[in-house]
Structure 1
Amino acid sequence: MLTIRTPQPLSHCRALSANPDVIRDFFGKLGAIFGRLNLLSKPMQIYNCDESGISIVHRPGRVVTKLGRRTVYSLTSAEKGRTHTVVACVSATGFVLPPLMVYPRKRPVPDNFKEGAVPNTSFHTSENGWINSNIFLEWLKFFVANIPPTRPVLLIQDGHISHVSIEAIEFARANHIHLLCLPSHTTHILQPLDVGVFKSFKANFNKACSNYMAKYPGSVVTNDKLAALVADAWPHSFTTHNILSGFKKCGLFPFNPSAVDDRRLAPSKPFCVPQESTEDDNESLPSSPIFTEEQEKLYTRRFEEGFDIRDPNYEAWIRINHPFKSLSVTSGDSISNISAPLSSTSAPTPSLSVPLLSMEVPIMSASTPVLSTSASLLSISNSSNSAESALDKILVLPEASMKKPKRRGINSKTVYLNDVLEEMKQQKHEKEVQAAEREE
């Protein structure tokens, strides 16, 4: 039987990224991490954190009206509102940390804004109301202070740039917190908070705003009422049932890679078909490349940031200006073989290349746990006391998108952040040196 439904929008990036190879690769690494940290039966040490944007201009819910009435109105506080961020964190046992709220203002949050808030809520401000690296570092300290002392702890999060600062990773390592970034554009499938909690939270928050305006006619939702309205919606959304359901549907706990419904990966099928090409890559490059001043600036910025897409003109520029910087991994021991057992039964994902800073493929054995991905890997030469962790020192570089990507964080496959600290420091130092050379 067929019916007409209004579909939920799914961006091109999500359809491209949420494919069987990426999901299988993620679960392969997650299983290795669980085994290495002995967390398969310890849900109290597995956490997921994420941010959700809210506004004083809520979205009204459904209302009851007369049959045949075409236009129905519901009051809101304004035409447009600024974004406020709520940072939430839950464990695989259903434990909920108090929220952290970020307001779009320069001055500290006044005391009257905190009235009626969820107990122990942490308040911060930023210019645009979004989380940044400094706030995330403060949240990590807040996280350590509010969880049980048992270690190690695995914190699963997205790869937003605010989550991957050197200071945050150093603090996490010092407190035995293992940071794992989800593959980009897959949070609607792999993020427990997105799957099981945030939809309910948004609905309950909008309902709380509508109830407030109905209870106090002529009043509007203002910044000083926001924390109390979040507190109204919080216990109805962050329930043990919703949290456990989110972890279970994502297959994170209990660990179950087959929990992800194949139908949710169906939109990626058009992108999983390998494209045959009879033309050599070099033949597609311009024979006599001439770059405008605008292109020179663009390609220079792309090269320095390292977040880019494969482009014939850009490749030609790289070969002319940086002949020793290869756009693809071409070691004698192909890294794609590392995860072959995880992806041998599915169609390969289109190969996407990125600029690399330095490449050293670590020596591997059959007994070594592999936490790396099959595409775009960067070796890390970080010292370690155990030989087992030597193979984990691999940074996943960004994958390509169809448009010029914004620098928003680790736009890549799964990244185990605790093992990439030294390489991030090296990259930061090289950028500082390059900036100093340009100034001279």
Structure 2
Amino acid sequence: MRQKQVNPQQIKNLYRVYSPSSMTNAFLAVKEQNMSVKRASRQYNVPETTLRQRILGRVSCDTTSSGTPPILSQEEEAVFVEHLKAMANMGYGYTRTEVVQMASEYAVTLQKRDREHPFILKWFRKFMGRWPELSVNKPRSLSVARAKATSKDVVDTYFQSLKEILDKYGLQDKPENIYNVDEKVLQTEHSPPYVVGPRVSTVSAVTSGKSTTTTVIGCGNALGVSLPPYFIFKGQRMRQELLDGCSEGTGGTVSESAHTSHVLQPLDLGCFGPFQRIYNSECHKFIRQNPSSTITRYNICSIACRSYIHALSPANLQSSFRKSGIYPYNPSTVDELNFKPSFALKSSCHTVTDE
């Protein structure tokens, strides 16, 4: 007899693992809110048949997949998951290795494992599969000073002062008169962009090697009009050739050290991110087209100007002012997740003081 061919994807879908919290929420929606099984299945993205079996009591609501059950119960893992999410939101997330080590200690505390048999990365992969609301991300850097400063009180005070200024000078409906000035530090040794190549573990990208920094001061208004950039080169004497290849209106100077936010500055929110990515791509293109050349302070201006024009486009500038809540004026635009690092630091300081 000819055996029926089974699609591996069908097997995967049949025994797929779903978020325990999603199944619990769907179960409660049916039981406590009289939602239909079909609607709850669609809303919480869980299998309808599986949900129905739990509603009818044929399968325990805690069961999330076939095979050997996890060592930690759903409730125990849920506590662990909430801790991981809370720490990541406050700016103190854990690495894969740290999560595995912590879970092992957790299991030992619960007397479900001994120290001679800790969890391994295989457990981590299955754990992440059970909790798809978690993911491994590369976080942005956040200095302690910025973390402390980004509190709800500080942001509320900022928006109160902003409204007073907008009202005083009648700027609520004049985006062409609302400007933002900010700076961006560029390195001559750029970070290579993603490239298309052979399917191997790693590929290389040629860069300039030794790196120096150049500061670019950008400016644009809420209507979407950008002003030419201003460059600050590291050095003691300004040379005109440092501005070779620049766009019209660009200026510059030199300084032995030029150094001067992240949730209220329009250019930071919507322009300097694209600026960095475009700059990296332009540097990569320059190196490819000029194999014997490197990026120095004498050609960084022309590369940066091309990137600046695209990054500070009318659409990006308008979006940046909208995201920052400056224009249109919107104090509630700042996500409250940004306040958590400040809250954690203040709580830590109070604890130390109390002790």
TM-score tier (shorter): 0.5 to 0.7
Q: Which amino acid aligns with 1:26?
A: Y
Judging changes above 3 Å, is the alpha-carbon distance between structure 1 residues 278 and 6 closer, same or farther for their aligned structure 2 residues?
Answer: closer
Q: Is 1:221 aligned to residue 295 of structure 2?
A: yes
Q: Which amino acid aligns with 2:203?
A: V
Correspondent of 1:231 among 290, 298, 305: 305
Based on CA coordinates, which of the two structures has the bigger radius of gyration? 2
Correspondent of 2:177 among 45, 57, 60: 45
Q: Which amino acid aligns with 2:135?
A: T
Contact 1:103 1:109 in 2 (8 A): no
RMSD value over aligned CA atoms?
2.2
Correspondent of 2:228 among 81, 93, 98: 98
Q: Which amino acid aligns with 2:201?
A: R
What is residue 194 of structure 2 aligned with on the other side? 62
Judging changes above 3 Å, is the alpha-carbon distance between structure 1 residues 276 and 87 closer, same or farther for their aligned structure 2 residues?
Answer: closer
Q: Deviations over 1:286-343 (max 9, x none)?
A: xxxxxxxxxxxxxxxxxxxxxxxxxxxxxxxxxxxxxxxxxxxxxxxxxxxxxxxxxx
Q: Equivalents in 2 of 1:212, 1:5: separation in Å?
A: 30
SS in 2 for 1:77: coil
SS in 1 for 2:183: strand
What is residue 213 of structure 2 aligned with on the other side? 83
Correspondence 1:20-419 to 2 at 5 A? 20-67=152-199, 69-78=200-209, 80-110=210-240, 112-128=241-257, 130=258, 160=260, 187-273=261-347, 275=350
Contact 1:19 1:272 in 2 (8 A): no
4+ runs deviating over 4 angstroms: 276-279
Judging changes above 3 Å, is the alpha-carbon distance between structure 1 residues 127 and 34 closer, same or farther for their aligned structure 2 residues?
Answer: same
Cα shift at 1:38: 1.6
Cα shift at 1:198: 0.5
SS in 2 for 1:190: coil
> Looking at both structures, which has the greater relative contact order when contacts are Cα pairs under 8 Å and sequence separation is at least 6?
1
With normalisation by structure 2, the TM-score equals: 0.58
Q: Which amino acid aligns with 1:199?
A: G
Unaligned runs of 5+ in 2: 1-131
Contact 1:53 1:84 in 2 (8 A): yes
Q: Equivalents in 1 of 2:250, 2:218: separation in Å?
A: 10
Q: Deviations over 1:359-388 (max 9, x none)?
A: xxxxxxxxxxxxxxxxxxxxxxxxxxxxxx
Aligned identity (percent) is 32
With normalisation by structure 1, the TM-score equals: 0.48
SS in 1 for 2:263: helix
Q: Equivalents in 1 of 2:285, 2:352: separation in Å?
A: 60
- How many residues align? The count is 222
What is residue 10 of structure 1 aligned with on the other side? 142
Decide which structure has greater helix share. 2
Q: Equivalents in 1 of 2:352, 2:208: separation in Å?
A: 56
